[in-house]
Amino acid sequence: MVGDNGPKFAQQIFVARPSLAPLDEIEEHLKQIWDRRVLTNRGPLLVEFEKEIGEFLGVDHVSVVANATVGLMVALMHIGAEEVITTPFSFVATANSIRLAGAKPVFADIDPVNLTLDPAEVEKLITPRTGAILAVHCYGLPCDTAGLEAVGARHNIPVIYDAAHAFGVRQNGQSLLRAGKMSVLSFHATKVFHSAEGGAIISQDLETKLEIDRLCNHGITDETTVESVGLNAKMSELHAALGLTQLRHVRDEIAARGQVADRYAAGLGQVAGLRLLCPTGNPDHNNYSYPIYVEPDFPVSRDALCGLLKEKGIIARRYFYPLIPHLGAFRNDLEGSAKHFPVAEKAAERVLCLPMYGDLDPADQMRVINTIVEAGRQLSPLQLAVGVA
Ligand code: T4K
């Protein structure tokens, strides 16, 4: 929580920091809102925003929503599943959305490289109650979309993607959002692209988009017709105004994040016991986050490293710890899930996300790198035990 960070907020280096376009750039959009007095309910700025996002990302059917959590809920409501197979290694919103859509989450383990849902583990858990697979492109690293969709096709189950981290990510020469039946983006303040709060559901066909739009507007077809139960998942014109303004700068933000990633790779790439999870120099990646994997042979544990950084005012984050099925709210959902999640359990213990945003000051970033390099020079418990000097 931002508010918990107290008076030291200004001096600390946080894991994320929203980019903001120059203030005067939003004025032209705000003036239109003030002139028209259309504040929400699919106003003209929202329609323009959907069109521009589609063009930027190279996708056809965009439904902008209030945030990714309601977007996931709406996508799942559209499918109407009883059980949804998903990953234990994600932000809690992924599983919350399943529950809020009236379905039961069933958790399957992840693959050790991209830390995304493992198709073979998913297939083991399919039952006649399985109505959907909800996979997460964790840290913007693409899921094994071909593997998951092959499993889905074999059992006639749709695959949808929580693409909260994946704005602008490409795979096989096209947008990653073209995979599956639907994908859901987050435009939260901490994301590569944001409208303070917001998100979008990407559908692969117009019929699905129109039904999604209805569900987002209380299920209303017209003044006298409501055929499905919907909710209010709409984005306001004010958020669309911010989104349209931010969109002009997102290419620069992604490029700047690429440079931050290059500096991390140069500073940390050779540190024994650390694995850098995201690729460097890959134009298809968005550098939403900078996760490192602290292997058992690194001299200090992930949590100790997190503590050392914190002492220097660097607030790295343990995304995603604890695993969702280990949270109190989901403990009763474990029937039907895998008994253990060996890969996800290790990831939850070992991954640390370092500060990552386009205008991360290089001097501040050097503090992050130096603290980690220094920690890597400490003697490991094993070396201490055998008396290595
Ligand atoms: N699926 C996945 C896989 C997700 O990761 C998320 C959200 C969702 C679905 C749901 O998306 P939305 O419904 O939110 O659209 C943050 C974000 O709130 C959340 O959106 C995100 N994932 C999650 C991974 O991270 P917290 O509780 O860790 O955020 P918080 O408030 O601690 O912010 C992190 C740091 O960012 C702060 O220490 C300081 C900085 N910050 C944050 C905000 C909000 C700022 O500098 N300014 C700000 O306005 O959840």
Q: Which residue out of 190, 310, 356 has the highest number of ligand 1 atoms within 8 Å of its CB and is therefore the one to mutate? A: 190
Band (337; pLDDT cuts 50, 70, 90): confident
Question: At 163, phi and psi to the nearest 5?
Answer: -105, 30
Mean pLDDT of 60-78: 98
Any ligand 1 atom below 6 A from CB of 15:
yes
Burial of 138 per CB tally in 10 Å (0-12, 13-18, 19+): buried
68 Cβ below 6 A of ligand 1: yes
Q: 62 C-alpha to center of ligand 1: Å?
A: 22
For a ligand 1 pocket test, name from 76, 188, 318 the mutation site with the most ligand atoms within 8 angstroms of its C-beta: 188
Does 189 contact ligand 1 (Cβ within 6 A)? yes
Which one has a higher pLDDT value, 388 or 140? 140
Lookup result for tokens 């521009």: 52
The residue to which tokens 């994320």 are assigned: 16
What region does 218 belong to: left with phi over 0, alpha with psi -120 to 50, or beta?
A: left
The rounded Å distance from CA 186 to ligand 1 centre is 10
Query: What is the average pLDDT across 174-181?
Result: 98
Pocket test for ligand 1, best of 91, 162, 242 (most atoms within 8 A of CB): 91
User: Is 148:111 a contact under the CB 8 Å cutoff?
Assistant: no
**Distance (Å) from CA 130 to ligand 1 centroid:** 29
What is the DSSP secondary structure assignment for residue 354, as one 8-state letter?
E
Contact 186 CB / ligand 1 (< 6 Å) = yes
C-alpha of residue 87 to centroid of ligand 1, in Å: 19
Residue-wise pLDDT for 32-54, tens only, equals 999 999 999 999 999 999 999 99
**In the prediction, which pLDDT does 385 show?**
61
| Distance of alpha carbon 237 from alpha carbon 30, whole angstroms | 9
Residue 41 DSSP one-character state: S
Q: How far is the CA of 19 from the centre of ligand 1 (A)?
A: 14
pLDDT at 10 over 60: no
Q: What residue type is assigned to position 64 of the chain?
A: V
Peptide bond into 320 cis (omega under 30): yes
Give the HSE-up count for residue 129: Cα atoms under 13 Å, Cβ half-sphere: 12
Residue-wise DSSP of 124-193: HT--TTEEEEEEE-GGGPPP-HHHHHHHHHHHT--EEEE-TT-TT-EETTEEGGGSSSEEEEE--TTSSS
Q: Residue with the nearest Cα to atom 29 of ligand 1?
A: 1
Residues near 273 by beta carbon (within 8 Å), at least 6 away in sequence: 294, 295, 296, 297, 298, 299, 376
Instruction: Give me ligand 1 centre to Cα 187, in Å.
Output: 10
Structure confidence at residue 331 as a pLDDT band (50, 70, 90)? confident
**Ligand 1: centre distance to CA 246 (Å):** 18
Confidence (pLDDT) at 389: 44
What is the Cβ-side half-sphere exposure of residue 312, based on CA atoms within 13 angstroms?
19
Report CA(317)–ligand 1 centroid distance (Å).
11
Going 174 to 177 to 179 to 181, the CA torsion angle's sign is negative
Q: Determine the Cα–Cα distance for residues 143 and 266; give it in Å rounded to an integer.
A: 26
Per-residue pLDDT at 378: 81
Q: At what angle do helices 44-57 and 237-247 cross, to 10 degrees?
A: 30
DSSP state of 330: G
Question: Beta partners for 293?
Answer: 275, 351
Cβ of 94 below 6 Å from ligand 1: yes
Q: What is the pLDDT of residue 339?
A: 83
Return the ligand 1 atom nearest residue 136 CA.
3
Q: Residue 311 corresponds to which tokens in the numbers above? A: 């002492």
Is the CB–ligand 1 distance for residue 184 below 6 Å?
A: no
Give the end-to-end CA distance of the chain in Å, rounded to a whole number.
42
CA distance 259 to 83: 42
- The pLDDT-based confidence of 248 (bands split at 50, 70, 90) is very high
The bridge status of strand 159-162 relative to strand 182-186 is parallel
